[in-house]
């Protein structure tokens, strides 16, 4: 598969509580995905969606999550070059998929 290269998660994920998205119910935080995991999961969902009618929405969701994460990294003082490159690669792959389908995404 042409997108195999872009699925590797080779960058290190810093463990920061502020990066977690989740619900808090009755004083207990439910298990959640980090923002890194979130964009990556949405990205994979877009690549492996089998229903052609759903692919444009999956691409838009993934692009939105990638752009949000890229903005976070831009304002971060940490060295995130590996994740930054992974975001660029993922966005490139999504745009290639989008071009193959001949659709336009609402995000970006």
Residue 79 domain-assigned (yes or no): yes
What is the domain extent for residue 57?
A: 43-108
pLDDT tens-place string over residues 68-87: 999 999 998 888 899 999 99
Residue 58 domain-assigned (yes or no): yes
Contact call for residues 30 and 15 (beta carbons, < 8 A): no
pTM over 0.85: no
Number of domains in the chain: 1
Residue 52 domain-assigned (yes or no): yes
Residue 38 domain-assigned (yes or no): no
Residue 20 domain-assigned (yes or no): no
CA separation for the pair 95, 98 (Å, rounded): 5
Name the nearest CA neighbour of 35 among 51, 52, 15: 15
26: left (phi over 0), alpha (psi -120 to 50) or beta: left
Task: Report the range of poorest mean pLDDT among 13-27, 52-66, 86-100.
Answer: 13-27
Calculate helix-pair angle for 55-75, 35-48, nearest 10 degrees. 150
pLDDT tens-place string over residues 23-70: 444 444 444 567 678 999 999 999 999 999 999 999 999 999 999 999
Residue 68 domain-assigned (yes or no): yes
More reliable by pLDDT, 37 or 105: 37
């Amino acid at each position: 598969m042409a997108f195999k290269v872009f699925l590797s998660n080779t960058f290190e994920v810093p463990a920061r509580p502020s990066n977690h998205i989740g619900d808090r119910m009755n004083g207990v935080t439910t298990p959640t995905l980090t923002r890194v995991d979130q964009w990556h999961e949405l990205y994979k969902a877009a690549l492996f969606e089998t229903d052609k009618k759903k692919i444009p929405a999956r691409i838009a969701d993934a692009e939105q999550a990638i752009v949000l994460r890229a903005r976070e990294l831009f304002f971060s003082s940490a060295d995130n070059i590996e994740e930054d490159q992974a975001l660029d690669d993922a966005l490139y792959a999504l745009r290639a998929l989008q071009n193959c389908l001949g659709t336009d995404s609402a995000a970006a």
